[in-house]
Amino acid sequence: MDTVQKIIKLSNIESYTSKIGLEISGSFYPNPNQTIILLSPADNFWDIFKKSEEYTQKVKDPIDNWSFRVISNIANKLFAKPEFPFGQKDNAPFLEWAKLSGKAWSSPVGMLVHNKMGLMISYRGALVFDYQIKFKKLYTNSPCNKCIDKPCINACPVKALTSKGYDIQSCYNFLDTAEGKKCMKNSCQVRTSCPISVAVKHNSEHSLLHMNAFKGNK
């Protein structure tokens, strides 16, 4: 492990993740002897994912299965343990991990907001290393603190997601309407209303796949 510790740096991990459409979206030390690296879709994610066997062969839960395969492969090469927010009875506590990274916080509508991805943040997995990897922790305050208008609170056309909570049935019902097609194609209007989310690259095919999975239309 001492040899591995000397050669693995954050840049080493980024060289792997950038090739498969993922990026480091957070990192922290759960204890003095470990580092957890959180991974999220990068701007080139969809272009890469569309060429995968999980997508072309219409595998069930394609993004989850793809994430499991590629992140497990990276973990094996870097001598790390992979963790995922899906597929297990007791999934790793990604919401807690995200907040511990100092780059994600609870938003006014309850969803996580990320310093770079806004409300469009999603985590595909994590790498756990049994030693500390050096990184700079630059963000300590939620961007929502400086957001005066807070458009996310009133963005949902049917008020299914507000500061008071989430009415999932109203959301489902709306998505089945003609007006709901906008959310199906362009993603949740609450998510895209975030000023930070505006800068995130959106893909209508990706949004449609995600929203269909959300509705159970796999």
- Residue 127: predicted pLDDT: 98
The per-residue pLDDT for range 40-68, each reduced to its tens digit, is: 999 999 999 999 999 999 999 999 999 99
Q: What are phi and psi of 135, to 5 degrees?
A: -155, 160
The per-residue pLDDT for range 171-199, each reduced to its tens digit, is: 999 999 999 999 999 999 999 999 999 88
Tell me how far apart the alpha carbons of residues 138 and 157 are, in angstroms, rounded to a whole number.
35
Closest CA to 147 of 187, 121, 119: 119
Q: What are phi and psi of 102, to 5 degrees?
A: 75, 10
The per-residue pLDDT for range 95-126, each reduced to its tens digit, is: 999 999 999 999 999 999 999 999 999 999 99
| Cβ neighbours around 21 below 10 Å, total | 21
Number of domains in the chain: 1
Q: Which domain holds residue 113?
A: 2-215
The per-residue pLDDT for range 133-180, each reduced to its tens digit, is: 998 877 679 999 999 999 999 999 999 998 888 999 999 999 999 999
**Residue 89 predicted with pLDDT over 90:** no
Lowest-confidence pick of 7-11, 27-31, 206-210: 7-11
- Residue 200: predicted pLDDT: 87
Residue 79 identity? F
**Residue 2 predicted with pLDDT over 60:** no
- Residue 194: predicted pLDDT: 97
- Residue 217: predicted pLDDT: 53
